[in-house]
Amino acid sequence: MAAPLLFLLVLVLVLSAPALPQAADDGGDDEPRTTYIFRVDHRAKPSAFPTHAHWYASAAFASSAGSGPPLQPLHVYGTVFHGFSASVPASHAAELRRHPAVLAAFEDRVRPLHTTRSPQFMGLRARLGLWSLADYGSDVIVGVLDTGVWPERRSLSDRNLPPVPARWRGGCDSGPGFPASACNRKLVGARFFSQGHDAHYYGVSAAAASNNGSVEFKSPRDADGHGTHTATTAAGSVAYGASMAGYASGVAKGVAPKARVAAYKVCWKGAGCLDSDILAGFDAAVADGVDVVSVSIGGGSGATAPFYLDPIAIGAYGAVARGVFVAVSAGNEGPTAMSVTNLAPWLATVGAGTIDRNFPAEVVLGDGTRLSGVSLYSGKSTTNSSLPLYYPGKTGGLSASMCMENSIDPALVKGKIVICDRGSSPRVAKGMVVKEAGGAAMILANGEANGEGLVGDAHVLPALAVGEKEGDKIKAYAGNASNPTATISFGGTVVGVKPAPVVASFSARGPNGLVPEILKPDFIAPGVNILAAWTGAAGPTGLPGDTRRAEFNILSGTSMACPHASGAAALLRSAHPGWSPAAIRSALMTTAVVVDNRGGPLGDEAAEPGHAATPLDYGAGHVSLGRALDPGLVYDAGEDDYVAFMCAIGYEPNEIQVVTHKPASCPDATGSHRPSGSDLNYPSISVVLYGGNTSRTVTRTVTNVGANASATYRARVQMVASSGVAVAVKPEKLVFSPAAKKQSFAVTVTASSSSSSGSSAPAYGYLVWSDGAGHNVRSPIVVTWLQPM
């Protein structure tokens, strides 16, 4: 085939976004279509076809499935995954599953997004430590899978940056509003993937496909804001005089401010992220040459799918196997137990904590009671006059109490401060409902699910958020006073808040609902009230009616925590280019802190004040980059370890091959010590005792990466909540030398017979290896009991 023709074919396969469903001759005119992702054994390609794309689209491939015309693939994958996606009727998908080269097939799913002081709060200091030794990450490329990027922001300036690393193979996709010249030495690449999105929504209606008429760009340009925010949180350039309408003013910079950004737009405004597009983003990012991938996406209907049916887990495995570190967000479904998502052990799963900065606001009731809250409202206060206070939930029912659209009577709220309960709809959307109904201001009250956890919002009218207790007091006053009134005032920015960090109430929690032997989240990072760059296509609330525009925005979520970890990994990769992704994750985990800035244990926003959080909430603790540069010891792992892990949790060889791309075999699981997921060389130790079992021994191997090749470490176990559990470590001393950089040890967990009944609360504590020279390598230990299925 001539080169120009081949180029044209590849271009069509990779970049085309069909505006209509495929021709209906591959399964019947009346049969609905669904997009499927097909994992193919790439070694089975006949030599007659120059590329896999040619093979998948050929009549030969279709006839091998039994029937059907040639396929029209939406995506063709060839780096982290081998196969394709296509929109076909279910009957045709069933035929393709029987194709001798197809290893697996699964339906495309929609995933939700997990939505300038934080670098300093994590322990970074200018011209010192990790920032200085890593040259601020200038030789590292961070790939961000998200909603795209707004390239004109100062946080994406390439001023004073050296040339793009010569190993970079990526490109800059042009499209509406996004010329190829938008990329520079900072934004080194920008691509977009809409094929899965288009196939999913075009099958519903044209209006849905165009995101219900909202502004969107068929290019890498970010119409949503989420992608610009996460990219610049990880690797934003230094921007002086930054603020969001006066809040959080100062110098904004990413965690790795000289690292390069490659944006992969796989999510679309108001439409979420399709698995097939996410997988295409992984495929392109790794092929382009990124060093780190940041993915603030997850959950949805695939939250607890096994790894071989989870495109994020599969794509990430392919990246990690090629030395690319992958950070993912844990999800925002906290404080519910077992809500954490992105569970694969080759991922760094990041929860969210607070930082020592807040944006206080206050409501003063007519009886003089003063109650505290938070807000990012930038307009005038209501302190000049008391306004009537009204709670629509008293008479209007549940939807009115939460200020849902068209739920409140304008005649009842005009000119009043309206109390709205949190839940069901976005916080800022409730304010828009109140404003459009004629309300003068809003008080957003937490319920039991959110407790006292608060995040600031750039509301469209004077408004503040208050905790559950304050909300109950305000509603009681509004219901009992004959003429309830209130005023609201805003306190700007306050730094030095204590205690901090605290686990954010929304941050998803363990235990791991898929493989409880792996503790998730791995750690927490700043994820509350984070300032970073923002899109020019939407106001700070993201609501269609918000006409304000801002260069920076302040957001909260594990989406904001994830890029902190990505930026941290970029710095560590720059300082230690030979470290594996597992070693980088280990350094972040074993040096994480489990105390706040008062010296007390990490707390939980969702619990009573002073209540300590546990490793099920925060994993190994809160990232501390001042320590991660020199962790002393690391727990390393590679492909063989992950294959053994999947064997241990019961995956069949063909299921493992879907993840690893390679044929796999598992040893016979017999004998007194059956393999367990707990045996993976992981920096945290999660032991599950099933049925009446009272003891379990797991092994670990640590590698000395400290400057002193000859070092001796001694073990110390501290159980915080023991529940009748004893932990023994053998040997208790590890001696390293230039010839012995790796040492192994065993941890035996023994529970009393009463504890093993299954009714006990999880036991937890820490194993710390100390060398007496400043290295304290901490691993959380969690013990849970489960009854066999």
Q: Coil, strand, or helix at residue 649?
A: coil
CA-nearest of 142, 161, 264 to 570 is 142
How many degrees, rounded to 5, is the angle at CA 318 between CA 570 and CA 175?
A: 70
Reading the block at residue 400, the tokens are: 């009115």
- Taking the C-alpha atoms of residue 165 and residue 300, their distance in angstroms, rounded to an integer, is 37
Residue positions counted in the chain: 789
- Taking the C-alpha atoms of residue 273 and residue 111, their distance in angstroms, rounded to an integer, is 5
- Taking the C-alpha atoms of residue 37 and residue 107, their distance in angstroms, rounded to an integer, is 6
Q: Detail the DSSP E strand segments found in 458-504.
A: 463-466, 485-490, 494-495, 502-503
- Taking the C-alpha atoms of residue 441 and residue 227, their distance in angstroms, rounded to an integer, is 31
* Tokens 């938070």, located at residue: 374
Backbone dihedral region for residue 300 (phi beyond 0: left; psi -120 to 50: alpha; all else: beta): left
- Which of 99, 200, 226, 229 is catalytic? The answer is 226
Q: Does the active-site annotation cover 82?
A: no
Furthest-apart CA atoms within the chain: distance in Å: 85
Q: Does the active-site annotation cover 226?
A: yes
Phi and psi dihedrals of 186, rounded to 5?
A: -95, -60
Report CA dihedral (30, 31, 36, 40) to the nearest 10 degrees: -100
Is the bond leading into 653 cis (omega within 30 degrees of zero)? Answer: no
Q: Which residue type, as a one-letter code, is found at position 171? A: G
- Which of 26, 139, 146, 283 is catalytic? The answer is 146
Label the pairing between strands 141-146 and 110-111: unpaired
Residue pair 777/702 in contact (Cβ under 8 Å)? The answer is yes
- Taking the C-alpha atoms of residue 405 and residue 85, their distance in angstroms, rounded to an integer, is 38
Burial profile 298-328: b = 16 or more Cβ within 10 angstroms, e = fewer = bbbebbebbbbbbbbbbbbbbbbbeebbbbb
Phi and psi dihedrals of 272, rounded to 5?
A: 75, -160
Residue pair 361/464 in contact (Cβ under 8 Å)? The answer is yes
Going from the C-alpha of 568 to that of each of 292, 345, 424, 525, the distances in angstroms are: 10, 19, 34, 10
- Which of 243, 276, 375, 559 is catalytic? The answer is 559
Q: Coil, strand, or helix at residue 17?
A: coil
Q: Does the active-site annotation cover 229?
A: no
- Taking the C-alpha atoms of residue 373 and residue 361, their distance in angstroms, rounded to an integer, is 5
Residues sharing a CB contact under 8 Å with residue 43, sequence separation 6 or more, in sequence order:
none
**How many helices and strands (H and E) does the chain possess?**
21, 38
Cα 89 to chain centroid, rounded? 32
For the chain, the helix, strand and coil percentages under 3-state DSSP, each to the nearest 5: 25, 30, 45
Identify the DSSP state of 474: H
Terminal Cα-to-Cα distance of the chain (whole angstroms)? 57
Residues with catalytic function: 146, 226, 559
